[in-house]
Structures are given as structure tokens and as C-alpha cells.
Amino acid sequence: MATILDEEVVELLSRTDSFFFQQRLRLIEAVTQGCWEQPNVYDVFDRTTNKRIMIIKEESHDCSRCMCAPGHSVFVKFYLMDKNAPELVPGQKVDWSFNPTSPPFMTMEREGCDCGGPCPKPCLGCFACTESCSEKATLYSGDISGEPGALKGGRERSKLLGESVQPALGGGVKPLMQTMERADANDTKGASQQFAATQGPACFGGCLKLCCNSEFKYGSASPDQNPKTVNFENYAQITKLKPKDMAQGAREMFTDSDLFDVQFINKDITPQQKAAIMAQLIHLDYMFFDRDNDICSGDGITLFNCFCCGCVCPCKIQKQQGGG
């Protein structure tokens, strides 16, 4: 099928089957323990060469980000690395003075629950039973301007690339997401159809993330297939990586900065489908892992989070009232 991605992006995604996503550590956010929430930034590497190939940056309303994260509305913009960009390897300190000079090659819009913003999903985080409480992110070619969530699902879709859609009740006790692609590049209405689905773990986050990876396995799916019937082994895999050393352990305990590995298994997957899955990784991060004080908080210690029909429910050792 034809694609509306740039030729340079198509060539890059065609030759790369393994990626590493490194979310940047934001010092002010870490020191304030999320009270001053800053926009997320990710550096993306070719896993084979360890060469940085993309930068991904969040744009969102300041008030919504500080008061409603991680359920707020966002634009997430994907940039190719400039030829004059400084070299960076996974784990290396980032040069914050560098910003991409070229426009983004694609933009993901995730509609959420906002304070001081449009708030297209006022019940996000509840049981996923209606449109207002179900997760959805839409991926477009190029740059998108305006305010994320402002059009409440009514954005013009001529540049649509794909979508990340939560089915009714979210898969039950294991999170389930449908991955959609543009059905016809020549259709200006931008209709989408399912090409894959992913299933994640029932338990994740909290203290569990210090010792266990969290895997989201993908299987190919026909457009009308029930995602629950998919074979989640044959297509791709996203892995939220556990810490390898004390420094990464401290990163997990005191920040919401995460590390991800992406492997594409099926050799027939198209560049546009790869782009949709990479965008869905960012959506999954906001849904499950971008949580401040996910291990320790004022009222106790979170052992792990459980998923139930769209809700993320912490399993905690509660601090006794009155101290002690």
C-alpha cells in the first residue's frame, strides 16, 4: 500500500527492525517529585548500531500537564536527527542545548482529561466502557498545530497514518490495545483499519518494575478480527526494561523516566505499520508507566499496579494513620 510518510523516514524504518527508547531525565521534575511536571522527551536509537536516529517531544498545556498527568491531552512530535546533531549513545548525558531544526515527520495526538484545557475525555482512567473513558491516540503525517484535544475527535484526517485504540473494557485483566493503519492512502477521509493488536501484563509498575520487565506482545490481526483472538507472538514486541544497575534503579524509584526496547519480528511489516507501533509505545508509556511516585508516596509503598477493564489499580502497603 502507498504511504504518506517522507521517503527518508520510509527508508530508515525499512532497514531498522530493533529500536531503543530512552526517556530523558528531567531534573526539576525529579526534585519536585512531579509537582512541576515537564514535557516528556525521548531519544530513539538503532539497537544494532547504537546510533541516535530520532528525538520525540511532548507538547501540552502547562496546567493540564501539572494537574492531570499522565491522563492529559498531548501532541507527541517525532523528529529525524539532523546531520549536524551531536553523537549520543544509550545512557549518555544528553546535550540539552541541541534541538532538531527540521519539522516533525509525524505527530501523535492523545486526547485526555485536562485542567484548563479542552478535556475531550473527562472520565479517562475509569472503566473503559464509553468513548469518554476509553484511551485513543491518533497519528498524523507531518506537523499538527493548535491545542491537543481541542477538536475532540473532529480533526481533519487527510494526513492520518494510524491510531492506537482501546477496545471495550480494555481487554479485561490484561491490557489490550488495537493498532490501526490508514486503510487507503488515496482516501482523503482517512479511514483506518486494524492490522495488529497488543496485550500487556496484568501486573506492572511499583516495586515490581525494579526486578521484572513488562512486555507488550503484538500479533497480526485482520481488520474485523476480535483482538482477543490474536496470536500475540508473531509480529513485534515492546519491552519496558527493568534497571540493570543502582543508577537505573534510582532512576526508576525517584522519576518517571523509562527505557524501552522495540523488536519487529515479522519481516513483512511495512514502514507505516512500524511507525504506528512506535507511536503506540509512547501511548502505552502515558497509560501505564508515566506515573510520579509510582513506588513510594506519602501514604505507603506500591508493590505493583493491576489492570482491570481500563483502570490501573495500585496494590499498596498502606501507611498507618497517625504514624508508626
* pLDDT value for 1: 45
pLDDT digits (tens, 9 = 90+) for 256-283: 678 999 999 999 999 999 999 999 999 9
* pLDDT value for 205: 93
pLDDT over 90 at 17, yes or no:
yes
Task: Tell me the pTM.
Answer: 0.93
> Residues with Cβ < 8 Å from 164, sequence gap 6 or more?
108, 135, 136, 137, 138, 139, 177, 178, 179, 180, 276, 279, 280, 283
pLDDT digits (tens, 9 = 90+) for 146-193: 999 999 989 999 999 999 999 999 999 999 999 999 998 888 888 999
Amino acid 169 reads: L
Does residue 81 or residue 319 have the better pLDDT? Answer: 81
pLDDT over 80 at 323, yes or no:
no
Nearest CA to 240 out of 279, 264, 212, 276 is that of: 212
